[in-house]
Amino acid sequence: MPACQHCHYKWTWRETAGIGFKGHRNCPNCGNRQYLVPQFGKGTAALYLIPLFLILFSRPLFGASDFVFFALVALLLTAQIILFPFTVRLSNKQEPLW
């Protein structure tokens, strides 16, 4: 889990999960605004997109049914949502993610 760069408060899973959509959030402890670090955006995009593309492009090779395909996609997306807060890194300064 990430920690506030100002007060070193360790964020909970729920607190961290909300930062993904906006790219920033105020620290629940000290109120200082925290931002996702740029390296996070680049590395995590690849981490999340590569398995999705593997599932999409391997479907014709294995002839998987629609049910199996959608179940794998749903499982992958659920795993990514659950694991997202564990991969977050925070910064006091806002920088472009890309």
Alpha carbons 41 and 26: distance in angstroms, whole number: 19
Alpha carbons 76 and 73: distance in angstroms, whole number: 5
Q: What is the C-alpha R_g of the chain?
A: 17
More confident residue, 37 or 48: 37
- Please report the pLDDT score of residue 44 as a whole number: 66
> What φ, ψ does residue 86 adopt, rounded to 5°?
-80, -15
The candidate with the shortest Cα–Cα distance to 17, out of 69, 64, 78, 96, is 78
More confident residue, 72 or 13: 13
Q: Could you tell me the pTM of the whole model?
A: 0.67
Q: What is the mean pLDDT of residues 11-20?
A: 86
User: Which tens digits make up the pLDDT trace of 40-87?
Assistant: 555 666 777 777 777 777 777 777 677 877 888 888 888 888 888 888
CB 24 within 8 A of CB 94: yes
